[in-house]
Amino acid sequence: MKNQVQLITYVDRLGGRRDGADLARLRRLLGAPGSPLQGVFGGVHLLPFFDAIDGADAGFDPIDHTCVDPRLGDWSDIKALTDDLDVMADVIVNHMSAESPQFLDYAEKGEASAYAGLFLTLDAVFPDGATERDLLAVYRPRPGLPLTYATLKNGERRILWTTFTAAQIDIAVHHPQGRAYLTSILKTLASNGIGMVRLDAVGYAIKKAGASCFMMPETFDFIAEFAAEAKALGIEVLVEIHAYYQRQIEIARQVDWVYDFALPPLVLHAFNFHTAAALKRWIAVRPSNALTVLDTHDGIGIIDIGADASDRAAHPGLVPPEELDALVERIHAASGDQSRRATGAAASNLDLYQVNCTFFDAMGRDETAYLLARALQFFLPGVPQVYYVGLLAGHNDMDLLARSQVGRDINRHHYDEDEIARDCERPVVRRLIELIQLRNRHPAFGGEFQVEASGDDELRLRWHGAGHWASLRVDFATRGHELAYSGGDGGREVFAFS
C-alpha cells in the first residue's frame, strides 16, 4: 500500500447518478485533468459496490458479492480504476443477504438445498442446546440476540444466526460451502486488479459454544488462514475491529493492517477538554500498521477509548467514564443536537458504541480546528484515509435521516456533481486538499517519527529523514498551532490553516 492519503467513498454518493456510469464518473473525478480532485489521492477504498448497493445495510448485505451493481458499471470499470489508483474493496466475511440466490434456494428446499451447509444455525454452534448463560456470553454490538426464527417454505423450522439484522444471514465460514463462497470472492477481486481488501465484520465470523463469539483465538486462526489465501492472490488485508484499545493492539500484532479507531474520539476529547494527555497515552502505544481515520461510513467509535466491558475496574479506558459521557454530550451540543437524533435508540440499525455525526459537525463546524484535526491524523504513523463526506467538510444530512430513519445515514450524503464543484471552492476544503497533497509529497513523511516533549495541554509531532523535516504543534488550551516543514530550497515553510 502506498504511503499516501486514501479516499473512502461510496461509488454512487460522490457525484453518482446510478445510470451505469458511476464508476467511470468517479475515475474522471479522481484523475481527469481539470478536476479539483485530480491526483489528490494515492488510493481509494470503494465501499460495497456489489449487487445490490441498496439492501438493508447500504451494500453490506450483498445479494451477489461477485457482481458489480449494474447501476454503477461493471468489472471493466473497476479494472480501469485500478490502472490509475490503488483500490481497496470489502469482503463481507460474516454474512450475506437473505435475498441472495443461495439463501432463497435454502429457504425453499431446506436440507435438500445444495446450499444447506452455507448458512449458520443455532444447532450448528450449540448441538447440545444453548443455556441462558451461553447466550448471554455472546458479545453483542447491538441490542437483542444474534438469532432469527424462520419457517422455510417446505415447513422446516430453523433458528438462524444473524449477528446484525434478520436480512443478513451469517455464513458457516468453516463449512466447505462457506470457504468456497469466500474464495470465489477473493478470486474475483484479484482478477479485476483489487490489491487490498477490508475484512468486514470478521470479528464475529467464528462462533463457539460457551464463548463470546467475538475475536477469540479461533477467530485469529481464521483471519490468518484467510489472509494467507488473499496474500497468495497478491492481496493485502485490513481487519476492521471496534474493540477495547488493548485488544486492538493485540490484534495489530497478528494482521497486516488495522484501523486506528481510537483516534477520532481522542482528537475530539483533546479539543473539548483542552488536553493532549489521553491522546499522548495512545500515541505511545498505538500500532503503526494502522489506517488512520477521523470518519468513516459508520459512526464515531466510543468503545475504542472506553473501559473493557468485561472488567471495567481492571481494564480502564484511555478516557475516564465521566469524561467519555461528557464527550458524547458535547458532540451532541456541537452538532445542535442533530447527532442525538441519529444515535442509539433514536434511529434504527442500532450501534451501541458509536455516535452518528459528521466529523465537521462534531467539531462545531470550526474550520481551523477541523484542519488541525486532519493535520494530526496525517502526522501519525500509518496510512491516512479520508471519508468522502469529511473531504468536503460535510454537514449532517437530516433530510436523508428523516427519510431512512437509519442513524448512520446522517453521515452518508448523496453529492451531485454541482455540489462537489461548489464544496471544492470552500476555503476549508481547498486547505484540506492542500494538506493532503503536502502529506503525499513531502519526503519527511517517509522518514522517522517522534513525539517531542511538551506539557499535557500541548502536542508536538515531528518527521525527519532524507534531509527533510516536518513538524506540527497544537496547543489545545490556547488553540495556538503551527505546521512547518522544509522547503525545496532547504528553507522553512509554514502551512496556513486559514
All 3 cell numbers of residue 7?
A: 479516499
Contacts of 480 by beta carbon, 8 Å cutoff, 6+ apart: 473, 474
Q: Are the beta carbons of 31 and 85 closer than 8 angstroms? A: yes
The whole-angstrom separation of Cα 228 and Cα 35 is 38
Q: Are the beta carbons of 101 and 209 closer than 8 angstroms? A: no
Measured from the Cβ of residue 482, the count of other Cβ atoms closer than 10 Å reads 13
Q: Are the beta carbons of 198 and 255 closer than 8 angstroms? A: no
Listed residue (6, 28, 7) closest to 17, CA to CA:
28
The whole-angstrom separation of Cα 316 and Cα 131 is 30
Dihedral of the alpha carbons of 73, 78, 84, 88, in degrees to the nearest 10: 130
30: helix, coil or strand?
Answer: helix
CA-based angle 335:10:384, to the nearest 5?
70
Tell me the DSSP string of 411-430. G---B-HHHHHHHTTSHHHH
Tell me the DSSP string of 483-498. EEEE-TTS-EEE----
**In terms of residues, how long is the chain?**
498
Q: Which of 12, 240, 304, 323 is catalytic?
A: 240
All 3 cell numbers of residue 117?
A: 451447509
All 3 cell numbers of residue 175?
A: 463449512
Contacts of 24 by beta carbon, 8 Å cutoff, 6+ apart: 73, 77, 80
The whole-angstrom separation of Cα 296 and Cα 408 is 10
Tell me the DSSP string of 266-291. HHHHHHHHT--HHHHHHHHH--SSEE
Instruction: State the residue for C-alpha cell 493485502.
Output: 236
The whole-angstrom separation of Cα 429 and Cα 392 is 6
Q: Which of 170, 200, 304, 351 is catalytic?
A: 200
Listed residue (119, 168, 120, 174) closest to 141, CA to CA:
168
Query: Would residue 260 show up in a list of annotated catalytic residues for this protein?
Result: no
CA distances from 71 to 12, 103, 302, 304 (A): 9, 23, 35, 36
All 3 cell numbers of residue 27?
A: 475515475
All 3 cell numbers of residue 365?
A: 463546524
CA distances from 90 to 7, 87, 395 (A): 14, 10, 26
Evaluate the omega torsion of the peptide bond into residue 307 and state whether it is cis, within 30 degrees of 0: no
Query: Would residue 240 show up in a list of annotated catalytic residues for this protein?
Result: yes
Q: Annotated catalytic sites, by residue?
A: 200, 240
